[in-house]
Amino acid sequence: MKVLVPVKRVVDYNVKVRVKSDQSGVDIANVKMSMNPFDEIAVEEATRLKEKGAVTEVVAVSCGVTQCQETLRTAMAIGADRAILVQTDAELQPLAVAKLLKAVVDKEQPELVILGKQAIDDDANQTGQMLAALLGWGQATFASKLDVADGKATVTREVDGGLETVALKLPAIVTTDLRLNEPRYVTLPNIMKAKKKQLDTFTPDDLGVDVAPRLKTLKVAEPPARSAGIIVPDVATLVDKLKNEAKVI
Amino acid sequence: MTILVIAEHDNAELKGATFNTIAAAQKIGGDIHVLVAGSGADTVAEQAAKAAGVAKVLLADGAQLGDSLAENIAAQVLAVAKDYSHILFPATASGKNVAPRVAATLDVAQISDIIGVESADTFERPIYAGNAIATVQSSDAIKVITVRTTAFDAVAAEGGSAAIDKAEAVADSGLSSFVGREVAKSDRPELAGAAVVVSGGRGMGSAENFKLLDPLADKLGAALGASRAAVDAGYAPNDWQVGQTGKIVAPQLYVAIGISGAIQHLAGMKDSKVIVAINKDAEAPIFGVADYGLVADLFQAVPELVQAL
């Protein structure tokens, strides 16, 4: 069974981004970029399935600028067998990415696609569900446990108020939540090996997909700042302030 | 212009998130219909019909809709979608699960987690863990939107008298099936809707120590929350997690105890009205957003606080 794992290159999760002064976007020039944390979990899960023998090949795919190659190399250092880059400098919104991924799925015919539940830059949480809809496949989002056997995937999902388990007919889409696994650290020998693995490049035109953005970003602003707080010396003052100044208790 | 709001419910009770989503729909303007898709959900439809501002309730009832499987619920929404200019879901686990599926099938972009309505086609939403607010405009014929419930005040649950229409339930997709559910039991208020939230972080030290927060939460009538560090360390259950990847809360009072204040955590609580931080590290970033900070050992400060209340 083949698994496809889409990965996204995003601003590293430790970086506090700044909004550009002309409100055209956030400033990501010279900022550290990394693989989206949820996607790392997806690659890890696919690799574990392969190590268990449930999966024969793991293919990583990324859509975006040339530098996404680095992200794909990281995926291959974790355990992906080969990679596909859909290269474009255009702004990609989730619907466009889902369409590109559908084209890749049509080419590669995987039985399972594992994506991260959301990217930490646009915080959209859409691509996996959209891909499932375009393919007409079942979906299990926010997975914290995944078992694949006998032509079906059994997935435990994190929902409001607890957990629920669903069974999906394969092929299917799974999106990862934080607790699905702990991604391994990539080792130097594996980074070296990843450099030799196959990386194919396509363009959206090759795949026949129109990636024009559907949403226009009019402006990007700083969130309203909170007024500076005070440090209170002891618990008694704190209670007094909450009762008489903030009047919240 | 008619707006469809997808009700969040458990087949027995309409969830509060629905009322906040109706409030967002009111800001867009136009007739508001509510779709209740479920199994044996008549009471839910009656509750929805009473909500202020609702013009009509559509009730789709069928066993295959009972377990909120994304494939079936999305198909149900799509079955009625063409009559609407906007389709709004609460940005809850179930709303986020279904909305993009509906949008992609309609070939429209989806707008996630809106926190403001500028006009019928222009909305505000947070990006980069809430560190920036984007204003986006949609040119799609049908706008599919999820609504951050904490950003809109709920409409009144009583006062409306909408008609309830039956919608034909769609057939089971056969793509997925429901296996089971594990619900975390709690007598405390629901985290996302609580007026007061008491949260603990890694500084609590252990699951045992987390119980220290119980008496404080009891006194304040608060829901309990946790940082990701506390959840990952096993101190608190998953669904207590507050943050970019957990729940977004905006209570009247948020008490952060032993939480350093990583940006992912702040994304989930920085719209709280009053934030109190108790931490022994005076340099912790949480003090940057706290209205009242107390630099102290939580193991002394929390019991003292319980006494003083």
- R_g (Cα) of chain B, nearest Å: 21
Query: What residue segments make up the domains of chain A, in order of their start?
Result: 2-245
B205, pLDDT greater than 80: yes
- Residue in A121, A213, A230 closest to B128 by CB: A121
- Nearest residue of A to residue B240 by CA position? A161
pLDDT digits (tens, 9 = 90+) for A171-212: 999 999 999 999 999 999 999 999 999 999 999 999 999 999
Q: Is B227 annotated as a binding residue?
A: yes
What does the alpha-carbon distance between residue B107 and residue A135 come to, in Å, rounded to a whole number? 13
In chain A, where do the E strands start and end?
2-6, 9-11, 18-19, 26-27, 33-35, 57-64, 82-87, 112-116, 138-149, 152-159, 162-169, 172-176, 199-202, 215-221, 230-232
B185, pLDDT greater than 80: no
Encoded amino acid at B289, one letter: V
What does the alpha-carbon distance between residue A59 and residue A113 come to, in Å, rounded to a whole number? 10
- Residue in A159, A238, A242 closest to B93 by CB: A159
Please provide the size of chain B in residues: 309
Contact A102, A132 (CB under 8 A): no
Best residue in B92, B188, B292, B295 for a mutation probing chain A (most A CBs within 10 Å)? B292
B238 — phi, psi (to 5°)? -50, -45
Q: What is the DSSP code string of A123-184?
A: ----HHHHHHHHHT-EEEEEEEEEEEETTEEEEEEEETTEEEEEEEESSEEEEE-GGG--PP
What confidence score (pLDDT) does residue A228 get? 83
Q: Which residues contact B139 (CB under 8 A, 6 or more apart)?
A: A214, A216, B121
Q: Is B264 annotated as a binding residue?
A: yes
pLDDT digits (tens, 9 = 90+) for B276-301: 999 999 999 999 999 999 999 999 99
Q: Which residues contact A93 (CB under 8 A, 6 or more apart)?
A: A122, A213, A214, A215, B109
What does the alpha-carbon distance between residue B110 and residue B146 come to, in Å, rounded to a whole number? 8
- Split at pLDDT 50, 70, 90, the class of B118 is very high
What does the alpha-carbon distance between residue B97 and residue A89 come to, in Å, rounded to a whole number? 29
Q: Do A238 and B181 touch (CB under 8 A)?
A: no
Helix, strand, coil content of chain B in percent (nearest 5): 35, 30, 35
* Chain B residues with CB-CB distance to A136 below 8 A: 175
Mean pLDDT of B94-110: 98
Give the CA-trace dihedral at A76, A79, A81, A86, to 10 degrees. Answer: -40
Every domain of chain B with CATH number 3.40.50.1220 lies at 191-308
- Nearest residue of B to residue A155 by CA position? B179
- Residue in A124, A158, A248 closest to B253 by CB: A248
What confidence score (pLDDT) does residue B221 get? 94
Best residue in A101, A159, A245 for a mutation probing chain B (most B CBs within 10 Å)? A159
Q: Is B279 annotated as a binding residue?
A: yes
- Residue in A168, A218, A248 closest to B135 by CB: A218
- Split at pLDDT 50, 70, 90, the class of A36 is very high
Angle at B263 between CA B259 and CA B264, to 5 degrees: 85
Q: Which residues contact A192 (CB under 8 A, 6 or more apart)?
A: none
Q: Do B245 and A178 touch (CB under 8 A)?
A: yes
Tell me how far apart the terminal alpha carbons of chain A are, to the nearest angstrom: 58
Every domain of chain B with CATH number 3.40.50.620 lies at 2-167
* Nearest-CA distance A40 → chain B (Å): 15
Tell me how far apart the terminal alpha carbons of chain B are, to the nearest angstrom: 51
* Chain A residues with CB-CB distance to B180 below 8 A: 164-165
**Distances B150 to B195, B249, B291 between C-alpha atoms, Å:** 11, 6, 20
**CATH assignment of A2-245, given 3.40.50.300, 3.40.50.720, 1.25.40.10, 3.40.50.620?**
3.40.50.620
Encoded amino acid at A24, one letter: S
**CATH assignment of B191-308, given 3.40.50.2000, 3.30.930.10, 3.30.1370.60, 3.40.50.1220?**
3.40.50.1220
Q: What is the mean pLDDT of chain B?
A: 96
What confidence score (pLDDT) does residue A162 get? 87
What does the alpha-carbon distance between residue A16 and residue B84 come to, in Å, rounded to a whole number? 39
What does the alpha-carbon distance between residue A245 and residue A248 come to, in Å, rounded to a whole number? 8
Mean pLDDT of A3-26: 95
Q: Is B252 annotated as a binding residue?
A: no
With an 8 Å Cβ cutoff, is B139 touching chain A?
yes
- Nearest residue of A to residue B94 by CA position? A159
Q: Is B186 annotated as a binding residue?
A: no
Q: Coil, strand or helix: which one is B112?
A: strand
- Nearest residue of A to residue B138 by CA position? A215
Q: Do B244 and A120 touch (CB under 8 A)?
A: yes
What confidence score (pLDDT) does residue B225 get? 97
**Distances A33 to A102, B176, B239 between C-alpha atoms, Å:** 26, 36, 29
With an 8 Å Cβ cutoff, is B238 touching chain A?
yes
What confidence score (pLDDT) does residue B184 get? 77
With an 8 Å Cβ cutoff, is B291 touching chain A?
yes
* Chain A residues with CB-CB distance to B74 below 8 A: 133
B183, pLDDT greater than 90: no
Q: What is the DSSP code string of B213-245?
A: HHHHHHHHTPEEEE-HHHHHTTSS-GGGBBSTT
Q: Is B259 annotated as a binding residue?
A: yes
A225, pLDDT greater than 90: no
Domain B2-167 is of which CATH architecture?
A: 3-Layer(aba) Sandwich (3.40)
**ipTM of the complex, rounded to two decimals:** 0.94
* Nearest-CA distance B42 → chain A (Å): 23
